[in-house]
C-alpha cells in the first residue's frame, strides 16, 4: 500500500487518486499500539507474503 498513485512524479498515470492512495497509510498509522505489526497489508487488510 498505497499502490500506483496519480502524482506529478509519474505524469498522473497512476490508478489511484491521491486521496485513495492516502487511505491505507493513514489507516495503518492510526492502528492502536497493540494492533497488528510485522505483516503485509493491502487496501483490503492483511495479505500473504507468498
In a domain, 45, yes or no: no
Q: Is residue 46 one of the residues assigned to a domain?
A: no
Within-domain flag for 18: yes
CB-based contact 1:9 (threshold 8 Å)? no
Distance CA 21, CA 47 (A): 17
Q: What is the pLDDT of residue 5?
A: 96
In the chain, what percentage of residues exceed pLDDT 70?
100
In a domain, 27, yes or no: yes
Per-residue pLDDT tens digits for 1-50: 788 999 999 999 999 999 999 999 999 999 999 999 999 998 888 999 88
Predicted TM-score (pTM) above 0.85: no
Residue 7 lies in a domain: yes
Q: How far apart are CA 1 and CA 26, in angstroms?
A: 11
**pLDDT value of position 42:** 87
In a domain, 41, yes or no: no
Domain that holds residue 9: 1-32
pLDDT of residue 33: 96
**Is 17 within 8 Å of 43 (Cβ atoms)?**
no
Amino acid at each position: 500500500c498505497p499502490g500506483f498513485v496519480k502524482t506529478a512524479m509519474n505524469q498522473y498515470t497512476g490508478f489511484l487518486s491521491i486521496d485513495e492512495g492516502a487511505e491505507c497509510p493513514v489507516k495503518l498509522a492510526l492502528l492502536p499500539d497493540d494492533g497488528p505489526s510485522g505483516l503485509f497489508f493491502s487496501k483490503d487488510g492483511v495479505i500473504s507474503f507468498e
